[in-house]
Amino acid sequence: MTHRFEDRTVAVVGGGSGMGRSISLRLAEEGAYVYVADLAGDAAEGVAKEITAAGGNATAQQVDATDKGSLNALFDRIRTEKGVLHGLHAQVGMPGPAGIEVDDAQWEKNIDVNVKSAYYTCTLGFDLLKAGRGAISMTSSTSALIGSPFSPIYSLTKGSLVPFARSLALVGAPDGVRVNVICPGTVHTPMLAQFFGREPGADVSELTKNFVSGIPLGRGAQPEEIASVIAFLLSDDASYVTGVTIPVDGGLTAK
């Protein structure tokens, strides 16, 4: 294992479970001091304890990524304790409701969780990233690239991150701040069942099996495979990579 993040500080917003947990663990394994932020404070604390038990360094903080005050509290803490941020990953997201009949409450929640959280996560700490000439990564979805027949609002909200990353990359370039976005396909995390279980009575295991059969590599991804791509994008190995959207999907969008 390389140590590309020695003496560097990173934050993973949405780092308490699934892909976010694996990303937090991978960055810590490579030497980063990781701020693990999550709406579920106990989950963030659990990941931070995993990191420290393995000999790494981490701090947990409960954060509502849809709330500017909560995010500002995280960045204020980092500003006070470290004064700089070398890497920031925005992981927060949710599956959208099925179909096109979406009520106002569902609309607002999906916009808040999938769009607002990413925008404010990536912008409120921008001064810290400028100080560290750091990098930003975001998790979108293959639904941003090929559309989702299950949930058009999911494609709409996650799709917004692709041009946002390009635009923010242009904003950050003069200060050396890089911005990239990944689009995972099927990933075996606790949230996977929510994607295929939108309809009452849905056979989640059968739907998942049928979907995975259409992936050229013939399987879904493990969270650790997503984490390895994020570790690359936030590291100096990707020092000339910015404004890019990378599918991490086993070839799904290549068809």
* Residues assigned a catalytic role: 154
CA atoms within 13 A on the CB side of 194: 11
Tokens 């769009």: give the residue: 115
Do residues 255 and 181 make contact, with C-beta atoms less than 8 angstroms apart? no
Tokens 């056979």: give the residue: 203
Do residues 247 and 185 make contact, with C-beta atoms less than 8 angstroms apart? yes
Q: How many CB atoms lie within 10 A of CB 229?
A: 21
- Alpha-carbon Rg for the chain, nearest whole angstrom, is 17
Calculate the CA 212 to chain-centre distance: 22
Q: Which residues contact 207 (CB under 8 A, 6 or more apart)?
A: 196
Q: Is 48 exposed, middle or buried (0-12, 13-18, 19+ CB in 10 A)?
A: buried
Do residues 47 and 223 make contact, with C-beta atoms less than 8 angstroms apart? no
With b for 16 or more beta-carbon neighbours within 10 A and e for fewer, the 70-95 pattern comes to bbebbbeebbeebebbbbbbbbbbbb
- CA distances to 1, 49, 61, 222 from 54, rounded to whole Å, are 14, 8, 19, 21
